[in-house]
Copies of this chain bind each other. A is one copy, B any other.
Amino acid sequence: MDHQKPMFTTNPFDDDKLREECGIFGVFNAETASAMVALGLHALQHRGQEAAGITSWDGHDFHTHRAMGHVAGNFDRDEVIRGLPGGAACGHVRYSTTGETSLRNVQPLYAELSSGGFAVAHNGNISNAMKLRRELIRRGSIFQSTSDTEVIIHLVATSTYRTLLDKFIDALKQVEGAYSLIVMTPEGMVACRDPLGIRPLVMGKLGDSIIFASETVAFDVVGAEHVRSIDPGELVIVTHDGEVRSHRPFGETHARPCIFEHVYFSRPDSVVDGSSVYSVRKAIGAQLAIENPVEADYVIPVPDSGVPAAIGYAQQSGIPFELGIIRSHYIGRTFIQPGDKVRHLGVKLKHNANRALIEDKRIVLIDDSIVRGTTSLKIVQMMREAGAKEVHMRIASPPTRHSCFYGVDTPERTKLLAHRLDIGGMQDFIHADSLSFISIDGLYKALGEAKRADIRPQYCDACFTGDYPTTLTDQDEAVVQNQLELLAERVV
């Protein structure tokens, strides 16, 4: 098991994608709660492949199992599920946002408070976690992980409010950033979403069970019904008497959910904040065809994430949709290329040009985004080596120019191709005959809006626009710290 690196990717051309950091799932009042969580997390595996964890509550005790690696292989074993008894359970899949990678940081995090057990699963990123952590340690708190999520627990543990709910709201009011949370306590299960609703969270039901999840696909796998999204700034409590209560500790808030969920993160068969992801992606493809037409023989998707937009592009443009790139089925395990001589083979292990089709043809490649550009370069090259006459690249999102601080793994800004080059430069870099991106307003249009409301945008689109919807305390402090150090060096 040691030498085999599991596949940490949501996409075969994965080295060059933004990565969603986490998926969460909770179920309350179910006969086999932890087995349902295992299935739900499996359906959310694309949101985090590095580690997974489940905590259950059996009415008396909390039980936790955490493991590095995938849900399958770890949480599909009878002895594991038997070790997680009880009618309530929550779980988490994770690609590390903050915190070094180790079992200590795998969620759900759990603590024994004076009120009893307290388990939390978090999707998002607390943007003032460092500052809060320093303060808590100064007052005598001892941290067991390097995860930003742990500050929430210590804020609850040391809150001077009386009830657990008040302690929890007290804690939430001190944190800043993005969070969708599922919390499990002896009093019941709590699901809540930050005031802007940056990361998604939906509620479903199956018989008498209430379910919370990052995406609706997790309802499909257990046969549950999608009820509604948790609203931005809403806090939903399910208690043992079956009551479901909604609180709004932040009052009315203006929502700005992450637009990239629609572009790439969510699965095409999910419904995010009311919209079918597949339909939106087809609409983006169609809009892209309208904005950036081209004469060509075939529309070819970069598998698999480019497929819906490619179908949309093909239907709008009338150019036939064809499979010009064949994906190996056996990407479950990364093939670590042996020997130096063969190291340049790269992308071919996972994909192969359909040479007989491509040869002497003009093709339009459709991909969802360009991050570093390294993979786009390889794909264009692969197409040319297979004999393509012209290679036109069309991208189903605007240029990605800014880092995300809300629970998405982005490279440093200087590594983003769109930060370094204009579109002409990018086209040269990837050796395409032409390159175009959908416009930001075109993207909003595909989402059903007239255009981006620049004063009060309907989505968080900071990765495209740099318009961050919250303060970024730790980030700002780090910048100031850096500048002070640079200054000090200059003075000396």
Contacts and interface: CB of A to CB of B under 8 A. Distances in A.
A339 B46 contact: no
A43 B65 CA distance: 34
A142 interface: yes
Contacts of A322: 311
A95 to B, nearest CB: 13
Instruction: Tell me which of A38, A72, A111 has the highest count of chain B C-beta atoms within 10 A of its own C-beta.
Output: A72
Contacts of A352: 43, 217, 220-221, 267, 269
B279 A357 contact: yes
A278 B39 contact: no
Interface string A56-77: 0000000000000011110111
B345 A223 contact: yes
A300 to B, nearest CB: 12
A341 B39 contact: no
A72 B330 contact: yes
A341 B11 contact: no
A141 B141 contact: yes
Contacts of A73: 3-4, 333
Interface in A11-40: 11, 31-32, 35-36, 38-39
Interface string A136-178: 0110111110000000011001100000000000000000000
A2 B49 CA distance: 20
A407 B245 CA distance: 49
Contact of A76 (B112, B222, B337): B337
A113 interface: yes
A458 interface: no
Contacts of A112: 137, 142-143
B11 A329 contact: yes
Given A113-B142, A333-B73, A335-B71, A42 B1 contact: no
A355 interface: yes
A142 B339 contact: no
B269 A353 contact: yes
Nearest to A35: B339
A120 to B, nearest CB: 12
A267 B326 contact: yes
B76 A42 contact: no
A63 to B, nearest CB: 12
B220 A348 contact: yes
A268 B326 contact: yes
A81 interface: yes
A46 B326 CA distance: 13
Contacts of A491: none
Instruction: Tell me which of A157, A328, A329 has the highest count of chain B C-beta atoms within 10 A of its own C-beta.
Output: A329
Contacts of A31: 341
A323 B342 contact: no
A255 to B, nearest CB: 22
Contacts of A353: 220, 269
A304 B278 contact: no
A296 interface: no
A222 B443 CA distance: 40
A307 interface: yes
Nearest to A155: B140
Contact of A336 (B1, B10, B77, B142): B77
Contacts of A39: 335, 337, 342, 345, 349
Nearest to A1: B1
Given A329-B45, A345-B39, A357-B276, A268 B141 contact: no
15 contacts: A6-B333, A35-B337, A36-B342, A43-B328, A70-B330, A72-B333, A75-B338, A76-B338, A80-B338, A112-B137, A140-B154, A142-B142, A220-B352, A268-B326, A276-B356
Given A112-B143, A114-B138, 6 more contacts: A39-B345, A72-B333, A78-B338, A78-B339, A114-B137, A330-B332
